[in-house]
């Protein structure tokens, strides 16, 4: 078990909670802390386009929204729970988001 895995287990009880604000923007370090990962984990996913699509090269300018936070947490959970690599985790999260959007459309259509 790696140091990060051990810290994940210790941090599970210390889960951050609060209200997500779309106007709020997190820095790289804040997002990493909120997801209980190292900043390098976030950097790798940004550079491969899994997070913060179309990000500038300069990391100092990166700002993450509440949507990015939710996506990063889902990615980390899939990677950890299923021992998935980042590409597989991104695919699972993308498909889950698409299913959620389609279900919302179905619900909206049935109300009309």
pLDDT above 70 covers what percent of the chain? 79
Binned at pLDDT 50, 70 and 90, residue 8 comes out as very low
pLDDT of residue 110: 85
Render pLDDT for 17-28 as a digit per residue (tens, 0 to 9): 555 555 679 999
As a CATH number, domain 3-111 is: 1.10.1660.10
For the chain, domain boundaries: 3-111
Query: What is the spatial distance between Cα 78 and Cα 55, in angstroms, rounded to a whole number?
Result: 23
pLDDT of residue 18: 55
* Angle, alpha carbons 105-107-111 (nearest 5°): 115
Q: Are 48 and 84 in contact (CB under 8 A)?
A: no
């Amino acid at each position: 078990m790696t140091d990060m895995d051990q810290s994940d287990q210790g941090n599970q009880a210390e889960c951050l909670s609060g209200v997500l604000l779309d106007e709020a923007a997190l820095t790289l370090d804040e997002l990493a802390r909120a997801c209980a990962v190292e900043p390098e984990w976030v950097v790798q996913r940004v550079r491969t386009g899994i997070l913060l699509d179309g990000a500038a090269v300069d990391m100092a300018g990166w700002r993450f929204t509440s949507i990015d936070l939710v996506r990063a947490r889902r990615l980390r959970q899939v990677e950890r729970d299923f021992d998935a690599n980042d590409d597989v985790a991104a695919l699972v999260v993308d498909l889950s988001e698409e299913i959620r959007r389609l279900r919302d459309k179905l619900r909206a259509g049935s109300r009309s």
